[in-house]
Chain A
């Protein structure tokens, strides 16, 4: 990918993400049943349904920042649980990262994720190892930054992000929740994978799929 990622491709990515979340609604709810209030799948499916409507709407701006902002607003209004303000803030902050107008390059994509992560941390006040979506997103962003610094190709950078996100997600099984509803369970939360860390993994899984396979659009 010497070529840039256009707003169209970002849209394609988030449509793939919405579809992946909807396929996994049951799984996400199951995870939230074990250590939460059994609504993460429902919350995310509701938000993704709204996002699909929004993304299929024709005549939207091709400006990357405007696009990310409208994604953020849709999630803030549509998701409902803690995930609403968290993913909403992620995209709202991502929308303030540098772009080339209607496209971004690999470095800007990495920055976009970094901005989103920083926003998420300010909003939720969670650190690594608190057993939240941060445990997926932080290592993924760090892996992207490291691969980028080593001048790797887009395919390698995105594969590194996906792999780090996957490890981070699995790591949440071993740790105790210190943020969110699961923290009410204390040590009983150990042994269960965090639902938000799981929904966040799909961001990187679908990014690796969409941004490395498309060339034409």
Chain B
């Protein structure tokens, strides 16, 4: 079963998304968080080494899917992947999914035992699901 990592500038946002996603996964999926800066949970920002430790925590050979909030979270996540050893890097994927919807959908599908690419595909598809009836 794949693991997930939630990357956010805010520790609180990461914790909240974690809470929502974990509920969908019925406690079966390893979900890591890398929110805020490592030295102080109250400081907004992202830190590649914090992301790296979150990947380590949830590591499983089936792979790890990372979901990010804004722009520089993506850059930090890319850096974290570059710091991973080669055999792990190829089993990690950065998702283009929206953070909240993506994390919930990914947690659900991960808990069904789906492989990394498939979980990411449904999470990314959440981008095009309209929120309002009649919209989109």
Contact = CB atoms under 8 A, between A and B. Distances in A.
B44 A39 contact: yes
The bracket for how many chain B residues form the interface is 10 to 19
Interface string A61-75: 000000000000100
Q: Which of A39, A79, A84, A180 counts the most B-chain CB atoms under 10 A from its CB?
A: A84
Contact of B48 (A43, A82, A85, A181): A85
Contacts of B47: 76-77, 80, 84
A85 B44 contact: no
B46 A88 contact: no
A189 to B, nearest CB: 15
Interface of A: 39, 43, 46, 73, 76-77, 79-82, 84-86, 88-89, 123-124, 180-181
Given A73-B49, A80-B47, A85-B46, 8 more contacts: A79-B45, A80-B43, A81-B45, A82-B71, A85-B75, A85-B78, A88-B48, A181-B71
Interface of B: 37-38, 43-49, 70-72, 75-76, 78-79
12 contacts: A76-B49, A77-B38, A80-B43, A82-B71, A84-B72, A84-B76, A85-B48, A85-B75, A85-B79, A86-B72, A88-B79, A181-B71
